[in-house]
Amino acid sequence: MQTGFATRPALVFGATGTDDVVAAVSHAAGAGLPLGVQATGHGVPGDWEGGVLISTRRMDTVRIDPGTRTATVGAGARWGQVVAASVAHGLAPLNGTAPSVGAVSYTLGGGLGILGRTFGYAADHVRAVDVVTADGVPRHVTADSDPELFWGLLGGGAQLGVVTSLEIGLVPVARLYGGALAFDGREVDPADVLRGYERWTRTLPDEVTSSLAALVYPDLPQLPPHLRGRYLLLIRIASTGSAADGERLVAPLREIGPTVSDTLHEMPYAESPAIHGDPDFPHAYYGDNVLLGELDPAAGAELLALTGPAAPSMHVVQMNHLGGALARPAANAVPYREAGWLIRILSPLDGTDVATLRALHAEAFGLVAPRALGRSLNFAFGGNDRPQDLYDPETLKRLAVLKATYDPANLFTYHHGTP
């Protein structure tokens, strides 16, 4: 949960079902108050005060139909619940790295998951959306019933209504070859790790999804000794191929230099959250990102140097290799399919103010700007300052028409996508 920004609503509806959501939307619309939704509070867009907030926390049912490989996911369900329910049937959802993240909002923002290059964005696998629009009307929206609204809800984020549940397709994945290789950035040159990793990604089949993370772990006694105070570069991998193919594919990465740890192994899908080990405790953070056509390793290395141990405060950099099924066109508003890379910077708000972090992020993203296409909605944390480049102009225009049709009074303002 994000604790860096304050949400101070005038009224909170603890919704238990669609009727409560309809009542909350009708109340906010009638009173002329802005309306926000919160499932987990991970994606708080910024400081927000005085409106009506719907908490969907209690609407967390997950139903699996193994015959049609479908999960019906309530608005408050977290990925951990959906994964647990799916693996019982030898199936997997297109979840992200953290079990504590809300499945619905993640999917509305596109959803870049650990199997992204094999199966595409989570939004590409949605079969139906149940949503309450600003007029208080509950709608069951499919690609057949209302293709334009269906298109806009998936990728458009939270700006068109309150989603009460999603029907999502599951994939027949019961196991993975995956884990992380960790290099000490003070022993192996980070530029060499990045160069080796980028070169390696050019050879990969679509069954491999991976990313590079770089961070200085704080010197805290709660952390295991092999992490404390270390500057680590972690290459995280999830492959749906066999363990033998995985071992063969990762061989060039193991030659980059000595590793601090190497957790690559075959695992049941239920174990996959261990690949990234995202924090599951509340904390304060500011984050931004850029989608690139290609990654220039020299510019990427400069970005690592700026955000690494010499930086005045801590930053977590992630470079996600895209392409594969993520590049396939789909009937939704997830933009920038041509992007080859996503670079994210997440900066804890541990005494450093947002303005200072914004300036550092601008400098860092400026280094890779010549290849920039835009930004990803899901990785804009507390950064509601320039929503325009979250979409290409054509997608932005189509979303604006939907917004004018379904929310002309701009009731839904509690998200990063409101221009």
Ligand X SMILES: Cc1cc2nc3c(=O)[nH]c(=O)nc-3n(C[C@H](O)[C@H](O)[C@H](O)COP(=O)(O)OP(=O)(O)OC[C@H]3O[C@@H](n4cnc5c(N)ncnc54)[C@H](O)[C@@H]3O)c2cc1C
Judged by the rule CB under 6 A, the positions of this chain that interact with ligand X are 36-45, 56, 75, 96-98, 101-102, 104-106, 108-112, 158, 162-163, 278, 378, 414-415
Minimum CB separation of residue 376 from ligand X in Å reads 7
Q: CB burial class (10 A; 0-12, 13-18, 19+) of residue 208?
A: buried
For residue 322, CA distances in Å to 15, 96, 153, 219 come to 37, 14, 22, 33
Residue closer to ligand X by CB (options 44, 299) is: 44
Minimum CB separation of residue 94 from ligand X in Å reads 10
Q: ∠ CA 21-380-16 to the nearest 5 degrees?
A: 15
Residue closer to ligand X by CB (options 38, 395) is: 38
What would the two tokens of residue 189 be? 């040159």
On whether the CB atoms of residues 116 and 209 are closer than 8 A, the answer is yes
On whether the CB atoms of residues 24 and 59 are closer than 8 A, the answer is no
**Radius of gyration of the chain from Cα atoms?**
21
| Beta carbons within 10 angstroms of residue 261's beta carbon | 16
Minimum CB separation of residue 290 from ligand X in Å reads 15
Residue closer to ligand X by CB (options 321, 415) is: 415
Residues in the chain: 419
Minimum CB separation of residue 215 from ligand X in Å reads 13
Residue closer to ligand X by CB (options 129, 301) is: 129
What would the two tokens of residue 232 be? 């680590």
Residue nearest to ligand X (CB): 102
Minimum CB separation of residue 186 from ligand X in Å reads 26
For residue 121, CA distances in Å to 54, 140, 178, 235, 320 come to 26, 21, 19, 21, 13
What would the two tokens of residue 304 be? 């690592």
> How far apart are the C-alpha atoms of 49 and 12, rounded to whole Å?
12
Minimum CB separation of residue 122 from ligand X in Å reads 7
Minimum CB separation of residue 252 from ligand X in Å reads 25
Residue closer to ligand X by CB (options 81, 259) is: 81
Residue closer to ligand X by CB (options 384, 395) is: 384
What dihedral do alpha carbons 33, 35, 38, 44 form, nearest 10°?
Answer: -80
Residue closer to ligand X by CB (options 81, 378) is: 378
Among residues 147, 148, 154, the alpha carbon closest in space to that of 107 is found at: 154
Residue closer to ligand X by CB (options 53, 367) is: 53
The residue type found at 148 is E
Minimum CB separation of residue 217 from ligand X in Å reads 16
DSSP state of 401: H
Residue with the two structure tokens 């980028």: 198
